[in-house]
Structure 1
Amino acid sequence: MTPLDRKQVSKKDEIILQQLEVIRTMTENNLNRTGADFWGTPAAPGEAPAAPQADQPKADRPGNTASSTGNDATEPPEAETPPPPEKIEDLQAELEGYIGLAPVKKEVKNLINMVTVHRMRKEQNLPAADLSLHMVFSGNPGTGKTTVARIMARIYHSLGILSKGHLVEVDRSGLVAGYVGQTALKAKKVIDSALGGVLFIDEAYALNGGAENDFGQEAIDTILKAMEDHRDDLVVIAAGYDDLMDRFIHSNPGLESRFNRFLHFADYTPDEMMKIFEMQCKKGCYTLEAEAAGLVRGFIEEENTDPASFGNARGVRNIFEQILVNQANRLAAMEQVTREDLMSITPADVQAARGMESAAPVRESPAE
């Protein structure tokens, strides 16, 4: 090989490496974007998708969620000024934009109307019964429980029920300690971080361990007391599987008396899951080829034999990510990658994700 030939090969490798880096970066950005508000509304026609806000501090983002799944509870800064209430019409429009959830949307609308009338009666000095706004969300994973809890916090803020409108998400590990006397302190710290907003307890039934040395009951007692002491500025939403949540709530008279609103989140239908996939394509500026769309639907139906383990919308997200990885593998084997190539999801990408065939042959290294 002449020096000129080596120089041309070297230049070609440099171009290929540059293309691979572009593909890697775009794939990584789009995978990160799918993790945020998976049930959210797509961009309006002709409108560019919103940036993922990767460099924006979490506490500064709309609908901020503080999550506590261990010893640390993420607390909103005390000096931070809460965001102004959003227009209730905008929040209702956002909720309506979510795919599926028809019964949930109806119940939320009923609740908004009830709270609105309750507030109007108080403004007119008319008797108004105390409202219990604590709720139980039941359903399989990936059915939108956390997403709806987040928008409920914002709705309550808009209606003047909550002073901040943020969401603090926690599970058993964030509330229960391993030693006597520590659970109440740990739970109180999480509760304090949720004041002015919604405390969302995922898999709440796990608090009722039932063992002799289990401290879950102490956490339940602490939460029940807080619900009474801060009933004017704290809403608690307990979430989990249907049967387990039903047994949990009815295992304790205190829980039964405070949680009297139940919202069931049904599993998504194949049509709804396909719409969720197509929405993610639109958000990420991907074009799903017609033949590929049929293969995606088959992929979803094939994987969704058990909605609880598949995870509904979460399962769709996993499939979407698998397809993007295989799209990247296919593009990496191409010498020239156009903008259209970067946007296209082809049948080969879906087939490769399903393990049906390789998306593209492996490129051999240039011969010396």
Structure 2
Amino acid sequence: MDKYSQLLINNASKLDAITDACGEITKLATVIVEENSKVATIALLKKISEVVDNQKYKIEVKHAARMVNSSLIEFYGYSTIQGICKPTSEVDEDTRTLQDLLDELNALVGLEKVKNKVQDLIIYQKVQSMRREKNLHSVKNTLHLAFTGNPGTGKTTVARIVGRIYKQIGLLSKGHFVEVSRTDLIAGYQGQTALKVKKVIEQAKGGVLFIDEAYSITENDQSDSYGRECLTELTKALEDYREDLVVIVAGYTEPMNKFFESNPGLKSRFNTFIEFEDYSVNELDKILISTCKNNDYTLDNEVKEKIHLYFELQTASKDETFANGRLVRNLYDDLVMNHARRVINITDPVYEELSTITAEDFSFMIDEIEGS
């Protein structure tokens, strides 16, 4: 991903966090980056205008909205120039080797069982490929996967890496990534859902189709004919395009289990089920420290201890909606904003002051921790 795309997504994520947009702004930015979607662009511009024009938002929130607007302009300027300079034939710009991708997977915090499972998948598929080359019998299992677990456990990140890995070992022709939800698959009137699903499948062929909260397709199965129509078309595609399409369905563990129990025909199309466990307190610490490091921030020892206690409280009281990595991302955004509010009042701040997050920047949580 180029720096302009990353900047747009990062700024959208920050605006998302401070306006409690529940991921909607980040998703719009992601769709813009991945698909150059005009619809998503218009929707994002409306969101920006709503924030800038709304008197309830403080000046720093309006500033964050303007930053998204600026990064959107920079992204389109860059992509336009790229389009002019690019050769007419589409070239895969992802130059990462198989080892690069494996290193990226292994660098993710925690997820040891997930990593081992993915490694086993790669080994198995590579050996089957070598057996076919020697005219030995090989089992052509489907490549489709089911990821279960709570939000923020890295399911989307792993799905993207798996797609590129499958491309590298010759199982997929493109390895690109298409993410959809119920609204992307189901139309508002009878007969059009099948066409909508076919269009999504066509876009995803050669790569990975990632369906988040897949159980929502049929959560009202008794009355939802649109959901059944979608499932029929999707099940057919899983079989028809199994040679050059990986479908990864994901969602909360229990609803996903019920989803498959009620659809044995669908379950038979999936060979591999991977459970993503919640992050431990120490893993949440590592994710936050890594996020800070990647953005040229450090945490002093006092704030590290207090944040560790905060994570202990959060994990002790968690339910099935525990946010995992998203909890860390939201905390990071709050820390950076509070740091900015503090440092702006320092005359000519030095390097350490500009880069160090202290307990004062975490004061919004300290009372909760000390009162527990």
Q: TM-score, normalised by structure 1?
A: 0.75
CA distance in 2, matches of 1:310, 1:132: 32
CA distance in 2, matches of 1:65, 1:88: 28
- In structure 1, runs of 5+ residues without a counterpart are 1-28, 37-53, 358-368
Stretches (4+) displaced over 4 A: 33-36, 353-357
Contact 2:172 2:207 in 1 (8 A): yes
Deviation at residue 179 of structure 1 after TM alignment: 0.6
- Tell me the percent identity: 43
CA distance in 1, matches of 2:189, 2:8: 43
Superimposed CA distance per residue, residues 222-256 of structure 1 (whole angstroms, 9 cap, x where no aligned partner): 11111122111101011011111111112123212
Q: Secondary structure at the match of 2:284?
A: helix
Structure 1 match to 2:177: 167
Structure 2 match to 1:144: 154
- Name which of 280, 289, 312 aligns with 1:301: 312
Pairing 1:316–2:291 present = no
Superimposed CA distance per residue, residues 318-357 of structure 1 (whole angstroms, 9 cap, x where no aligned partner): 1111111111111122233222211010111112355679
- Name which of 32, 55, 75 aligns with 2:10: 32
Pairing 1:350–2:325 present = no
- Name which of 250, 256, 260 aligns with 1:249: 260
Q: How many residue pairs align between the two structures?
A: 300
Pairing 1:235–2:246 present = yes
Distance 1:221 1:285, change over 3 A: same
Q: How does 1:1-368 map to 2 (within 5 A)?
A: 32=10, 58-59=33-34, 80-83=90-93, 86-208=96-218, 209-304=220-315, 305-306=317-318, 308-352=320-364, 354=366
Higher-helix-fraction structure: 2
CA distance in 2, matches of 1:278, 1:210: 44
Distance 1:268 1:139, change over 3 A: same
Distance 1:174 1:124, change over 3 A: same
Superimposed CA distance per residue, residues 46-80 of structure 1 (whole angstroms, 9 cap, x where no aligned partner): xxxxxxxx9xx835xxxx999x99xx9xxxx9953
- In structure 2, runs of 5+ residues without a counterpart are 1-6, 15-28, 44-82
Q: Secondary structure at the match of 1:81?
A: coil
Contact 1:176 1:187 in 2 (8 A): yes
